[in-house]
Amino acid sequence: MLQVTAEHIANPRTRTLVRELVENGALMFRPGLRPRPEWEPNLRVVLWAERKRLAEWERPEGAGGWSYSRWVILLVLAAISIFLLVTQPNLPAQLGGWVSATTVAITTVRKWLDSFSGKSAG
């Protein structure tokens, strides 16, 4: 209920519970998912009182979280890039050609698909 109050979304893993809450009138769509109007002020008070504990739940424990992993991935990619640039002198020219060809191909496919749907690719 607190997540719905704060973010107007529900955890997809609680689909059955959310469906039951909607059917019982505890949650409603107006226009997004929200608690009953008369409950919302009280839930906001609880949300404010529990904000520190809720923030702790959102932080990953240990070094397994995305915030740690992304730096490892970036360092590995940087090391590979430097290695390839040093050992393959013509690689930047080849990559430039591949990027240009890929961009043209993607644009062409998008325009072709959009011509069937009546949309513009802009």
Where exactly are the structural domains of the chain? Answer: 2-58, 84-122
Residue 17 has pLDDT above 70, yes or no: yes
pLDDT tens, position by position, 62-85:
656 677 788 889 999 999 989 988
User: Has this prediction a pTM greater than 0.85?
Assistant: no
pLDDT at 50 over 80: yes
User: Three-state SS string across the chain, please?
Assistant: CHHHHHHCCCCHHHHHHHHHHHHCCCEEECCCEEECCCCHHHHHHHHHHCHHHHHHHHCCCCCCCHHHHHHHHHHHHHHHHHHHHHHCCCHHHHHHHHHHHHHHHHHHHHHHHHHHHCCCCC
